[in-house]
Amino acid sequence: MISFRLNNPTEILFGAGQIAGLATLVPAGARVLLLYGGGSIKANGVHDQVTKALSHVEVVEFGGIESNPVYETIMKAAALVRETGCNWVLGVGGGSVVDAAKFLAYVAPLDVTDPWEHLARGGAVTTILPVGAVLTLPATGSESNPVSVISNKGRHLKLPFAQDGARPRFAVLDPTTMASLSRRQLENGAVDAFTHVIEQYLTLPVNAPVQFGFSETILRVLIEWGPVLVEKNTPEARENVMWAANQALNGLIGSGVPQDWSTHMIGHALTALYDIDHARTLSMVMPSLLRHKAADKLPMLVRYARNVWGIEEEDEAVAAEKAIAATADFFARMGCPIRTSDMAEVDIEAVVSHIAEAGQLPLGEDKDIDADAIRAILREAA
């Protein structure tokens, strides 16, 4: 196992009615910047529940955070934070809003000429406002991790930023808020969570039976309950997918194991260039990326084939290919594309340039996915 430090202090309130808990989670005297997206929280009653629970504190609202949150919009929210003296940030929405809330918590107090440049270069952050999250779309795990994925429209970049101090102090996960999600968003959420597990599990066979066993459980739960969620959106399916998506990316299964994330980095470039939903970029890229890396990932692919898909085939290479095919079938069953040509005519060189410009090359757990490998993966995915 690789040595690791794990400190996940996010307090989780899970279940129907838990939004009322904001009354005790947010301290008296707080001035809260309530951040939200396109307004679904006003239509589905979540906004009312939140403002009722926050009646003991001052609340300033900022709506309009986009899906794949945009830096330029967050900077407008940052100006409002400074102008109104807000000292807490509460993100209410899906991963985009929660990512934006975490980024806002350290970009608002930052006193530098070009905050994007400063943060993208790993510059110091001294002040981080406390953050809370009310999650309405299970997918990203953002509600209890330190990552924000932010799109810069001016620079045509989509980059991940991580600040441990921005991990939410608390996250409210009420599965009943998922009732108003469209089928497409439900598909995206379960597929995104699935790929998060794969990027931390299908790497190298280090000694990590706890992490790998837990990853397999999360994958089996998503395979069983993802389709039920999409078809019927039942209360049981909502609970199981919401909790699985949180556990998929709260730091636990990724501790002590090599991680990949190359599908995500290629996916971020596709979203930046073609405005494709995050999860759909992942489903388009992952099968061909796994095929490209099948020899290196063979021990874990075989384990995945046996323990997740129940594939008994003795020939290991054949078992690995069957597991990759089963993965692609699952994505397709979840309504997500498995070829880039289903969504866009992709300019492969533009994708490579995006990843190079973001300083992310080479990708992968072995750091061997270079520009040529990305070209090969995208040709195969077309």
User: Within 230-289, which residues bind ligand NAD (CB under 6 A)?
Assistant: 249, 278
For position 10 contacting ligand NAD by CB under 6 A, the verdict is no
Among 10, 136, 200, 340, binds ligand NAD (CB under 6 A): 136
DSSP state of 66: P
Strand pairing category for 147-152 and 157-162: antiparallel
d(CA 162, CA 158): 14
For position 360 contacting ligand NAD by CB under 6 A, the verdict is no
Q: Residues near 39 by Cβ (< 8 Å), separated by ≥ 6?
A: 63
d(CA 276, CA 125): 31
For position 188 contacting ligand NAD by CB under 6 A, the verdict is yes
Q: How far is the CB of 245 from ligand NAD (least distance, A)?
A: 9
Return the residue nearest ligand NAD (CB atom): 94
Number of residues that bind ligand NAD (CB under 6 A): 32
For position 173 contacting ligand NAD by CB under 6 A, the verdict is no
Q: 378: closest CA among 249, 247, 273, 221? A: 273
Of 187-195, 305-313, 318-326, 355-363, the segment contacting ligand NAD by CB under 6 A is 187-195
Q: Residues near 143 by Cβ (< 8 Å), separated by ≥ 6?
A: 10, 98, 133, 135, 168, 171, 173, 246
Closer of 200 and 203 to ligand NAD (Cβ): 200
Burial level of 274, CB count in 10 A (0-12/13-18/19+)?
middle
d(CA 128, CA 107): 8
Closer of 230 and 305 to ligand NAD (Cβ): 230
Q: How far is the CB of 39 from ligand NAD (least distance, A)?
A: 8
Sort residue 261 into left (φ over 0), alpha (ψ -120 to 50) or beta.
left
Closer of 40 and 309 to ligand NAD (Cβ): 40
For position 37 contacting ligand NAD by CB under 6 A, the verdict is yes
Among 131, 139, 222, 284, binds ligand NAD (CB under 6 A): 139
What tokens does 65 get? 């955070």
Q: How far is the CB of 283 from ligand NAD (least distance, A)?
A: 13
Contacts with ligand NAD by CB under 6 A lie at 37-38, 40, 44, 67-68, 93-97, 99, 136-137, 139-142, 145, 147-149, 177-178, 180-181, 185, 188-189, 192, 249, 278
